[in-house]
């Protein structure tokens, strides 16, 4: 298994509260990604990072922010959680920019916003 640790793995939070999900990798890969997975929508990219302090938006970035202060850590923050952000969140890492065969996923973080 790729060295990816997501925390917390499960969280229930209230609407309007801030939430931070953490992704930690031990592979020293350059690229890190946050996806969400929902029934009927599949995997959708929220934000990604191509280096320390270098991040960019994905297709569903509204309501989310990210930070990467170290190669190994990529944080996803929901500034004010809403029920529509109830989902499974996957972190992924990659060491190549143009191939998909080196993208590895974490085990997921289940977030419920009530």
Partner 1 sequence: QKEVEQDPGPLSVPEGAIVSLNCTYSNSAFQYFMWYRQYSRKGPELLMYTYSSGNKEDGRFTAQVDKSSKYISLFIRDSQPSDSATYLCAMTLYGNNRLAFGKGNQVVVIP
Task: Mark 68-102 as b/e (b = at least 16 C-beta within 10 Å).
Answer: beeebbbbbbbeebeeebbbebbbbbbeeeeeeee
Distances (CA, A) of 103 to 11, 17, 96: 25, 31, 8
* φ, ψ dihedrals at 84, nearest 5°: -70, -10
- Residue number, 81 or 89, with CB nearest to partner 1: 89
Which residue is associated with the tokens 């599949």? 42
Size of the site for partner 1 (CB under 8 A): 25
Pick the binder of partner 1 from 14, 53, 83, 98 (CB under 8 A): 98
- Quick check: bond before 67 cis, omega within 30? no
Pick the binder of partner 1 from 17, 18, 26, 43 (CB under 8 A): 43
Pick the binder of partner 1 from 78, 106, 111, 113 (CB under 8 A): 106
User: Using the rule CB under 8 A, is 74 a contact of partner 1?
Assistant: no
* From 17-25, 63-71, 76-84, 96-104, span contacting partner 1 (CB under 8 A): 96-104
- Residue number, 14 or 40, with CB nearest to partner 1: 40
Task: Enumerate binding residues for partner 1 (CB under 8 A).
Answer: 31, 33, 40-45, 48, 50, 58, 90, 94, 96-101, 103-108
């Amino acid at each position: 298994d790729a060295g990816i640790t997501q925390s917390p793995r499960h969280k229930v939070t209230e609407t309007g509260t801030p939430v931070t999900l953490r992704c930690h990798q031990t592979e020293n890969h350059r690229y890190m990604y946050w996806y969400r997975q929902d029934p009927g929508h599949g995997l959708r990219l929220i934000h990604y990072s191509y280096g320390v302090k270098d991040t960019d938006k994905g297709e569903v970035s509204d309501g989310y922010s990210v930070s990467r202060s170290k190669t190994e850590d990529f944080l996803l923050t929901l500034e004010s959680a809403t029920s529509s952000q109830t989902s499974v969140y996957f972190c992924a890492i990659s060491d190549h920019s143009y191939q998909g065969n080196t993208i590895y996923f974490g085990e997921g973080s289940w977030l419920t916003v009530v």
